[in-house]
Structure 1
Amino acid sequence: MAVEAAAAPLYYEPLLLLGGAVIAAPLFARIGLGTILGYLAAGIAIGPVLLLISDGEELLHVAELGVVLLLFIIGLELKPARLWAMRRSIFGMGLIQVAATGVVLAMITLLLTDLSYGAAFVVGFGLALSSTAFSVQTLETQGALNSRYGQTSFSILLFQDLAIAPLLALVPLLSPGGEGAEAISLERFALAIASVIALIVAGRYLLNPLFRVIANTGAKEVMIAAALLVVLGSATVMQMAGLSMALGAFIAGVLLAESSFRHELEADIEPFRGILLGLFFMAIGLSLDLRIVLENWLSILIAVPILMLVKALILYGISRVFGCEHNGAVRVAALLPQGGEFGFVLFTAAASAFIFPQSTASLLIAIVTVSMALTPLSVRLGEMLIRTEPAEEMDEDFEGAGADVMMIGFSRFGQMVSQVLLSGGTEVTIIDHSADRVRAAERFGFRIYFGDGRRMEVLEAAGIRNTKIVAVCTNGATATDQIVNLIRDEYPHVRLYVRSYDRAHTLSLRDRDVEYEIRETVESALIFGGRTLQALGTSEEIASEIVEDVRRRDEERLAIQSVEGIYAGNDKMRVRPVTPEPLIKPKRESQRIDQDEEPVG
């Protein structure tokens, strides 16, 4: 009992945090507010409201590792060539955004407060930085990280991570009585440059050989330890040089982006990233000083909208100048108007250098935290400003429609499917909602009906009640799900054959009793791989058997995942070349070899 009593305090805070996360995140996601706001609310409830945990700022330093791991994983997805292609956005849009926003916010600070020019400079440029954690997590949740506006937003965030180094270096210069600060700043700048070069050299010539040696040992736990060592080591090097830890982890990720160990590293880091990033958002809530918020509620009520509006307007203008269309510019502006976690570092350093009092730093941190909490709201407001392009209309004329097969969607996938069906003598009723696609197909002699397969009246007019099979060949998981749900609810007798988007989509379709589904690229990838084996000297018969083995194991993995979840069944995948090769040897070939052998003697 004594041991249990002594051990209780050790597990007290983790239990509270885990319990808060498990309750708040799903609840907020369910009501449509998102998991980020759920983590924030849980942190505020556990810390400032109920006072169950008092050291929120201490926890924040640990939780920042979630942001570090997040940037490492993003770096793994960005090869150096792709990063170089983004240089215009990073050093063009990013530089202009930080400079323009910093100057405007500094001028507003001078107008509304009695702070000095140096203090206004720190306030303006500190608030010009946005939250990498909030923004990137929102992009990942939306599945928009690789979209044009997602890449634009990430480029700006990346430059902001670079900008924190010179901003911190300027703090001693702005400090009252900061003699010798210039030399210190120059030394810090030189150290930062040297650290980046050292990290790039080490990453280029040491990391891949290191992971190759560890992989050959077959020790999985050592591989995980090495991955964490690389991430935390590179982050620490950057921090010691005065740069952000996240920047160091990002550089390490980019240097490993072309490594053959990239996918394994991502899988090893992902669980730590998810837990620590959730902890980071909770720590933001824990560190919020409600006393300061209550004492300065009017200042915060004025400052937060001004901050978010000014940043949003500047972001929108810059995005438009750099070629973004209206909708993309609105999304960037709605995603990045909040203050950022690096502002905490800059304001704390400025208070330590006596540029402004600690009470001002606390107020600024509260403003940044409140703006972070409002990020989901700003994203929603941005969606309301998106212009919906009017869809070109055609007459919905379904005269002559009605066949054994109804095909919904006539993109490239549907076009190839139609060739098989028509070549087999099967009549097909083809529906597509794109007027341009319908006209283009008609020029080739196809009979296609214009209509949206997500509307029940369209399906009725096209003769779904007499259809034996509906082939859903739409391009996109969302539209496909809407069609499948409608048909399952209203026409349960219809057999559904569906084009799935990816593995997770396949599993969700199977849960809805779709009779047959196929991932849009799986068969073409199998054929491609088989032909590649043949080009390397493998016989056609053996290559076909290997392809069939891969197809069988993939189906077995799907069956396991449908019960145990998306991360199950990994033993059915090959992550290294099998030995001895080839894995599959046809029985007829082995028998023929035995017959051809000459008897001994």
Structure 2
Amino acid sequence: MDNLVYIFIIAAGCAILFNLIFRKYEIPTIIGYIATGVFISQLFGLKSNHDLSFVAEFGIVFLMFTIGLEFSIKHLMSMKKYVFLYGSIQMIVTGFILSLLAFYMFGLDIKIAIIIGFAMALSSTAIVLKILNDTGHISKKYGRKALGILLFQDIAVIPLLLMMDIFDIEDGSVSSLILTSIISAVILIVLLYFIGKYILSRVLNAVIQTNSKEIFITTILFTVIGASFLAHYFGFSYSLGAFIAGMLIAETPYKHQIETDLIPFRDLLLGLFFITVGMQINFAVIFTNLLIIIPMLICVLFIKIMVVYLFLMMFARKKTALKTALSLAQVGEFALAIFTLLSVKNMIDDRILQILTAVVIISMVLTPFILKNVVKIADKMEEQDILDDEIISSQEQDIMDELTSKNSMELKEHFVVCGYGRLGREIIRQLKAKGCSYIALESDLNLVERGKKSGDNVYYGDATQKNTLEKVCIKDCVAAIIAVSNEQKSELIANSIKDLGYDVNTIIRFADTIEKGLYRDFGDHFHLVKEREAVANAIIRKALECVKDKFSRSVDG
């Protein structure tokens, strides 16, 4: 225990220092955490012990729970094409090719090669979803496709672990093991569904009545960890139990508050997970086997990119297919766990284990840089999409024109703009041009400072918090405009406005029918604007202005 506290204190201090330095150069925090792990393992000789790795694993558990919150059973079924079609194609094709690579490169038994190949077909849920959430790209087309494939991969971990047990026992026990696993899965799902539907909602309602935030957070932590251990008891991964629990809670009215309260725990534990990843890097093994690791790394990345790109070309634009493929190129954290289990069962020797671990970790380190530049890379393959977030929709403009006519210059008749990104800045520019009073809220301090320098009325604040909305007098505003690209945050803001009960006119843009469905029951005060239609209307509007201008010049002539 003392060693665990010692590691944690040193790791926390180094993580703060590295990330403060890295953020100046816009290097993702994930790299800072991995660098921390490398630094403390090399300088202090500290190695990731079982207790630390066990705690760090709950970073993935909390991540899967928050993903489940955003994807209820109804929502998951609406994405069934992304999850079950795209996911199964990616896993089967990539796993088969990488199995052949492992078989011929290491001369392994075909059964072990299959496990390794399919493990390397997995991508990093922790890295990809964190970055897509942070950048707001989770709501974009390629983000949704990547998310669907990642969800299938997390489900595919179950048969992969089952495969390890099948290959490790006598043939006569295989049918018994499969039957036991199926029965366990049915019992687990039924049990969690019963608890979520008939018990959890009542418990949460009773906890809310106490008006105690501490009891509420404790209840949620108990729910997440309890569901994880229940899944583990039946022979499945901790993260699967958390994901199912999140999907069940997504059907309750408390999911948004739960997500807000859990994010700090999730991010802290995810940081600890990436530190343990960094602590596993063995430079001696990397340098000794560099001529094997580099070619294998290149082959794995190339195969994973090409498989996803080629089959998605049949269903989507080339640019979307390429961005999705680049997002999923790395090998995921679950592969590390599978390789460790193979070693424990004496199914793989230590040298091959270290080589595979090095390939996985290097691919994970490269991922933040790839995702940060994924749009630039894809733009070189195809011209930029017509759809552009910077173009404000004519439908939004018509609504604003109508509301502006009612607007006096009194402070209480103002617009509340949630978000100061590209769309938010364009909205504010047009509001200023019309002489409208407005207040903008932005949670990114850099954007706030940029707005202040431009003379815009933008303030630092979290629009998902009700007290923040109260401070900008949203009750007396003409309309609230949600101008954030992140689907999760957009929905959180909309729910906060709805829960205030002021019937505020709220304008929300949405990307597709899946996102539109999130606002189906919000009421008549919430006005939805579709991106694609907005761009088309804006183009037609400009074209008509050109016709009008040409006609005017011909009359003058």
Deviation at 1:21, TM superposition (A): 1.8
Alignment partner of 1:80 is 2:73: yes
Report the structure number with the largest CA radius of gyration: 1
Alignment partner of 1:12 is 2:6: yes
Deviation at 1:164, TM superposition (A): 1.0
Among 371, 383, 386, the residue aligned to 1:388: 383
Relative contact order, higher structure (CA 8 A, sep 6+): 2
* Aligned residues of 2:197 and 2:248 also touching (Cα < 8 A): yes
Deviations 1:426-449 (A, max 9, x none): xxxxxxxxxxxxxxxxxxxxxxxx
Alignment partner of 1:551 is 2:466: no
Alignment partner of 1:504 is 2:443: yes
Deviations 1:551-586 (A, max 9, x none): 37999xxxxxxxxxxxxxxxx9997999xxxxxxxx
After TM superposition, list the pairs within 5 Å mapping 1:452-491 onto structure 2.
Answer: 477-479=420-422
* Aligned residues of 2:277 and 2:361 also touching (Cα < 8 A): yes
1:516–1:478 distance in 2 versus 1, CA, 3 Å: closer
The DSSP-based 3-state class of the residue aligned with 1:288 is coil
1:78–1:499 distance in 2 versus 1, CA, 3 Å: farther
Among 318, 328, 336, the residue aligned to 2:328: 336
Deviations 1:396-444 (A, max 9, x none): xxxxxxxxxxxx96733333444577899xxxxxxxxxxxxxxxxxxxx
TM-score, length of structure 1 as denominator length: 0.68
Instruction: Measure, in 1, the Cα distance between the counterparts of 2:298 and 2:110.
Output: 23
* Aligned residues of 1:148 and 1:328 also touching (Cα < 8 A): yes
* Aligned residues of 1:473 and 1:498 also touching (Cα < 8 A): no
Deviation at 1:253, TM superposition (A): 1.0
After TM superposition, list the pairs within 5 Å mapping 1:8-47 onto structure 2.
Answer: 11-47=5-41
Letter in 2 for 1:13: I
Among 255, 263, 275, the residue aligned to 2:268: 275
1:412–1:42 distance in 2 versus 1, CA, 3 Å: same
Q: Which residue of 2 aligns with 1:156?
A: 149
Q: Which residue of 2 aligns with 1:105?
A: 98
Greater CA drift, 160-169 or 237-246: 237-246
Q: Could you say what the CA RMSD is over the residues aligned between the two structures, in angstroms?
A: 4.1
Deviation at 1:12, TM superposition (A): 3.0
Among 277, 282, 301, the residue aligned to 1:284: 277
Among 187, 190, 199, the residue aligned to 2:192: 199
Among 336, 355, 369, the residue aligned to 1:363: 355
* Aligned residues of 1:80 and 1:254 also touching (Cα < 8 A): yes
TM-score, length of structure 2 as denominator length: 0.73
* Aligned residues of 2:185 and 2:234 also touching (Cα < 8 A): yes
Q: Which residue of 1 aligns with 2:173?
A: 180
Instruction: Measure, in 1, the Cα distance between the counterparts of 2:433 and 2:290.
Output: 60
Q: Which residue of 2 aligns with 1:412?
A: 395
The DSSP-based 3-state class of the residue aligned with 1:92 is helix
Letter in 1 for 2:395: R
Deviation at 1:15, TM superposition (A): 2.1
Letter in 2 for 1:110: F
Alignment partner of 1:379 is 2:391: no
The DSSP-based 3-state class of the residue aligned with 1:347 is helix
Q: Which residue of 1 aligns with 2:520?
A: none
* Aligned residues of 2:416 and 2:474 also touching (Cα < 8 A): no
* Aligned residues of 2:305 and 2:328 also touching (Cα < 8 A): yes
Deviation at 1:171, TM superposition (A): 1.2
Instruction: Measure, in 2, the Cα distance between the counterparts of 1:476 and 1:283.
Output: 35
Q: Which residue of 2 aligns with 1:467?
A: none
1:412–1:512 distance in 2 versus 1, CA, 3 Å: farther
Q: Which residue of 1 aligns with 2:125?
A: 132
Deviation at 1:57, TM superposition (A): 5.5
1:290–1:196 distance in 2 versus 1, CA, 3 Å: farther
1:500–1:112 distance in 2 versus 1, CA, 3 Å: farther
Instruction: Measure, in 2, the Cα distance between the counterparts of 1:554 and 1:217.
Output: 35
1:410–1:166 distance in 2 versus 1, CA, 3 Å: closer
After TM superposition, list the pairs within 5 Å mapping 1:537-548 onto structure 2.
Answer: none
| Gaps in structure 2 of 5+ consecutive residues | 408-413, 464-469, 480-495, 503-557
1:143–1:117 distance in 2 versus 1, CA, 3 Å: same
Deviation at 1:481, TM superposition (A): 7.1
* Aligned residues of 2:417 and 2:424 also touching (Cα < 8 A): no
Alignment partner of 1:212 is 2:151: no
Identity of aligned residues (%): 26
Letter in 2 for 1:217: T
Greater CA drift, 473-482 or 77-86: 473-482
* Aligned residues of 2:326 and 2:371 also touching (Cα < 8 A): yes
Greater CA drift, 184-193 or 159-168: 184-193
* Aligned residues of 1:176 and 1:355 also touching (Cα < 8 A): no
Instruction: Measure, in 2, the Cα distance between the counterparts of 1:327 and 1:414.
Output: 30
Instruction: Measure, in 2, the Cα distance between the counterparts of 1:231 and 1:295.
Output: 42
The DSSP-based 3-state class of the residue aligned with 1:374 is helix
Instruction: Measure, in 2, the Cα distance between the counterparts of 1:423 and 1:222.
Output: 46
